[in-house]
Structure 1
C-alpha cells in the first residue's frame, strides 16, 4: 500500500471518528434539553463522574481529532519512511493513544472542578446573576490567555508538525507514546482555557463547541492563525465584560424565578 493510501485511510478514520462523535453529542444535547431541565445548565449537567468522563472523551474526539490530524499524519509519514528503510515501525495509534491520555486526565480534573463549583454554589445559595458573572470572569481569563506569551509558545509548537518531529522525536513504542503525551500537553497549553470557557457557555452547547473547534482549527492551520488567536482573545474579553454588566447575555443564565420553579 502506498504512503498516500495509508495517509488517506488514517485521515478518513480521524474524520469518521470526529463525525460519529459530533452525531453522539448532538443526540445527547437533544436528549438533555428534553429530560434534564435546569441540570442542563449546571457545570456537571447532573452526570456522574464516569458518564461525564465518557462524554468528555467523545467531545475531545469530535473537537481535537480534526485539529490534530496534520501532526498525526506527519508522525505516520516519518514512521512509514523508517519502515521503508527496514527500521522499527510503530503504529500511529500509539501516538494517538498518548495524545488522548492527556485529554482524559484533564476530563477527570474538569469533573472534579465542576463538582466542587456546584457544591460551593449550592452551599452559598448563589443567584443566577452571580453565577453568570463568574462565568463572565472565566471568559475574560480565557480571552487574556489568548493574548499571552504562553499561548503563543504552545500555538507555535502546534502549528509546526515538522518542527515538533525534529525536536521531540523518540524511537520505539514508549517513545511514540511519550511524543503523543508531549504533543497533547502542547495542545492543552494552546487550548485549555477555550475549553474552560465552555462551562459558562454550556458544556453540552453544541453550537459553542463547533465555534471553539473551528477557532482551534483556524489557529493551528491558517497562515494567519496567530492573528486569529489574538482577535478571538479580544472578542472573549469584550463578551466577558458584557456578561459582567448584563449576566443574561450568557446562554446558561437562569433567572431566580426559573431556578425556583426547577
Structure 2
C-alpha cells in the first residue's frame, strides 16, 4: 500500500474514532445518564470505573485530532524503516503508549475529584463559595496558558519532526516510550484546560467542544502560541467574573435547588 494511502487510512481511523467517541458521549448524556447524577459534582456521582471509562472516551474525542500529526509522522518514519528492510513497529503501539498517559491521568483526576467532594462535604461549602473556588481554578488555568512551561510543552507538541529527531527509540518498547513521552508533553500543554472542565461541568458538551478546538488550534494552527495566550487572558477574565458573580458558572446551583424536594416542601 502506498505511503500516502496508508497515512489517509490512519487519519480516517483517528477521525472515525474521535467521531464515535463524540457520538457516545452525546448519546450517553441524552439517554444513558442516571437522573440522580449531579452536574455540579466533580465526579457527578460516578463510580471510579465509570468515570475512567468516560474519561478515556473524552480523551479519544478531544485529543486524537490534535495528536494526528505526530501519529502520522511516526508512521511515516516507520514506513521508511520498513522500506529499507529494517524492523517495523505498528503505529498503534505508539498510540497505546500515548493513551497510557491519559489513562493514568484519568485515575488521578478521579482521585482528585473524589477528594475535593469529600473536603467540600466536610467543610459545608455554600454553592457560591464552591463556584468561587471553581473561578479561582479557571484563573489558575489561564495563568498557566501564559507560563513558560506551557510554551515549552507546546513547542514540543507543535513540532513532530523535532520530537522524532530528539526522542526516537527503536523497537516496540521504544515506540511505547515515545508514546508516553509525547503524551506527557500533551499533558503538559493541556492538563489545566481539562481541570477547568470540572467547574464548567465534566460533561458540559459546549465546554468540551471549546477545549477540543482550542487544543487543536494551539497545536496545528500557524499562530497557535498566540491562540494559547489569548485563551489564557480569556480564562483569567472569566475566572475573575465568577469570583464576583458566582452564578455565571454553568455548574452553579442555588442552595434551594440542591435540597431534596421533600425538604423544600417541609420548609
* TM-score, normalised relative to structure 1: 0.98
Q: Deviations over 1:43-84 (max 9, x none)?
A: 001100011000000000000000000000000000000000
Q: Which residue of 2 aligns with 1:16?
A: 16
Matched, 1:41 2:73: no
Q: Which residue of 2 aligns with 1:95?
A: 94
Give the aligned CA root-mean-square deviation in angstroms: 1.1
Q: Which residue of 2 aligns with 1:184?
A: 183
- Rounded to whole Å, the distance in 1 between the matches of 2:194 and 2:78 is 31
CA contact (8 A) 1:147 1:233 kept: yes
CA contact (8 A) 1:94 1:176 kept: yes
Q: CA deviation at 1:33?
A: 6.7
Task: State the 4+ residue runs in structure 1 displaced beyond 6 angstroms.
Answer: none
Aligned length: 261
Equivalent runs, 1:1-262 vs 2, <5 Å: 1-31=1-31, 35-36=35-36, 39-261=38-260
- Rounded to whole Å, the distance in 1 between the matches of 2:131 and 2:228 is 24
What SS is found at the alignment partner of 1:41? coil
Note the residue ranges of structure 1 that are not aligned, 5 or more in a row.
none
CA contact (8 A) 1:82 1:88 kept: yes
Q: CA deviation at 1:14?
A: 0.3
Q: CA deviation at 1:31?
A: 3.3
- Rounded to whole Å, the distance in 1 between the matches of 2:134 and 2:36 is 21
- Rounded to whole Å, the distance in 2 between the matches of 1:220 and 1:148 is 16
Q: Deviations over 1:99-154 (max 9, x none)?
A: 00000000000000000111111111111101100000000000000000000000
